[in-house]
Amino acid sequence: MTDTHHCPALLISAPASGQGKTTLVAALARYHRQQGRRVRVFKTGPDFLDPKIHQQASGHPVYQLDTWLVGEAQCRQLLYEAAASADLILVEGVMGLFDGTPSSADLALSFGLPVAAVIDARAMAQTFGAIATGLAGYRPELQFAGVVANRVASEHHQNMLRDSLPAHIPWLGAVPRSDQIELPERHLGLHQPDSISGFDNRLDAAAELIAATPLAQLPAAVPFTPAPAATATDKLLQGQRIAVARDAAFSFVYPANLQLLQQLGAELVDFSPLSDPELPPCDSLYLPGGYPELELDPLADNSAMHASIQQHHARGKPIVAECGGMLYLLQALTASDGRCRQMVGLIPAAAAMQPKLAGLGSQAVQFAAGELRGHTFHYSAFNTAPPMTLHAVRHPYGTQGEGVYQQAGLTASYLHWYLPSNPPLAAALFQGEAQ
């Protein structure tokens, strides 16, 4: 007999990005946490900023769900394990409900998740009902739980929106326009929670606004079953000490990546390229992405850390650098305001911030030992690219994607790796053996 856990669950989606999904999911997580419930939140697709907000709201780490990046079996297992102890599971969708391959709708269908849609109702009246009808009927097999109106101007506006719905689409309530709950954005998306003034007050205010809506009621319980038993993870990094950059410049790292490295046997030690004078004693170095362009001067001024990383590399010790971590290893980086500063200088190239998005999407790289999956999202570009050893392939298009620079144990790319997509290959990266 299959072991099954039942837990109330809901996927929150929208007709497009920018409708208020993140604020709404965070508000729900905070509200139910205030009621004493254990809430687990997941984010659909690759993302670093929304999960930080949801972790602050729920009190628990936020993992990704994506049947391509993460894999269907691992997604199933993550939901099953969460359902074993949670009182509520919330999943934030990505972009619009049917956007992407796979889409939020695909994820909902794979795991039997009911879907609620948030619609930004600014400058809209009865068309609200038309959009809701389209979302509910485009794929009839979806369990469509209803719609919530966001950024509503008045009680009269709310009544028009609610009355526009056909009888078969549940009204889940309205959230008014409020500067108290809006979350500020910048070029890579929302600000990080620790940089938002009064962030917890915003969460509490949002929770209060959502409390009286039908959306705040616990959804129906969903059955979650385990994935087939996975092969046990060998301790391929047993005895290895990995230094992980963790500060305001380098904070884009999947919790699943760090968890995997520990499962492989590695000991992780955090350090700050911004403030520490040298690397901690370590066998390999992990430089994840983040905002090096916003911390350009302190990163450039810490020449002692530059020397420590250069010595680490000269000894042939492995380095894995993703996006912002790679920018830090270039010869120079130019910020949006035109300031150019020297970086560590291990990669023979320079980059500059661009006014528009320069890279976006899921990609995979075929190494000799197998495929490793990840995604790219960046506003910088090389002035002249360094020589690349490998190139990624864009999913699902099959066209050439980001390059991978490798030299004497160093692997660097604009890609943010999802390491659990290939644990043995992830271990080889941190041993300097992935080619």
Could you report the per-residue pLDDT of 101-159, keeping only the tens digit for each? 999 999 999 999 999 999 999 999 999 999 999 999 999 999 999 999 999 999 999 99
pLDDT at 312 over 90: yes
In three-state secondary structure terms, 5 is strand
Q: Which residues share a beta bridge with 252?
A: 289
Confidence of residue 435 (pLDDT cuts 50, 70, 90): confident
Alpha-carbon distance of 366 to 393, in angstroms, equals 8
CATH number for 241-430 (one of 3.40.50.880, 3.40.50.300, 3.40.640.10, 3.40.50.460): it is: 3.40.50.880
Q: For the packed helices 104-111 and 72-83, what is the interaxial angle rounded to 10 degrees? A: 60
User: Is the C-alpha dihedral spanning 123, 187, 247, 60 positive or negative?
Assistant: positive
Please state, in angstroms and as integers, the Cα–Cα distance from residue 316 to each residue in 241, 278, 280, 344, 368, following that order. Answer: 15, 17, 16, 16, 21
Helix (H) or strand (E) holding 319: strand 319-322
pLDDT of residue 228: 87
Q: Tokens 């309530």 label which residue? A: 173
For the chain, the average pLDDT equals 94
pLDDT at 184 over 70: no
pLDDT of residue 108: 98
Our measurement of the distance from residue 253's CA atom to the centroid of its chain's CA atoms, rounded to an integer in Å, reads 8
pLDDT of residue 177: 87
Across 157-277, the runs of DSSP E, i.e. the strands, are: 171-176, 185-186, 189-190, 221-224, 241-245, 250-252, 267-271
In three-state secondary structure terms, 423 is helix
Higher per-residue pLDDT: 2 or 238: 238
pLDDT of residue 199: 77
Alpha-carbon distance of 61 to 405, in angstroms, equals 31
pLDDT at 231 over 80: no
Confidence of residue 180 (pLDDT cuts 50, 70, 90): low
pLDDT at 193 over 70: no
Helix (H) or strand (E) holding 359: strand 359-367
pLDDT of residue 434: 85
Q: Can you tell me the mean pLDDT for 9-33?
A: 96
- Domain boundaries defined on the chain: 5-224, 241-430
Region of poorest pLDDT, from 44-53, 176-185, 228-237: 176-185
Closest CA to 88 of 45, 144, 42, 56: 42
Q: Can you tell me the mean pLDDT for 363-380?
A: 96
Alpha-carbon distance of 70 to 72, in angstroms, equals 7
H helices present in 147-242, as ranges: 155-163, 199-211
Same fold, 5-224 and 241-430: yes
Q: Can you tell me the mean pLDDT for 10-26?
A: 95
- Domain 5-224 fold: Rossmann fold (3.40.50)
Give the tens place of pLDDT for each residue, 256-265. 999 999 999 9
Q: Can you tell me the mean pLDDT for 44-72?
A: 94
Which residue in 7, 75, 282, 323 is the catalytic one? 323
In three-state secondary structure terms, 173 is strand
| C-beta atoms surrounding 176 within 10 Å | 15
In three-state secondary structure terms, 287 is strand
Confidence of residue 1 (pLDDT cuts 50, 70, 90): very low
pLDDT at 195 over 70: no
Alpha-carbon distance of 205 to 193, in angstroms, equals 15
Alpha-carbon distance of 329 to 352, in angstroms, equals 13
Region of poorest pLDDT, from 45-54, 56-65, 112-121, 319-328: 45-54
Q: Can you tell me the mean pLDDT for 31-49?
A: 95
Q: Is 323 a catalytic residue?
A: yes
pLDDT of residue 187: 47
pLDDT of residue 186: 43
Closest CA to 121 of 83, 102, 149: 149
Confidence of residue 295 (pLDDT cuts 50, 70, 90): very high
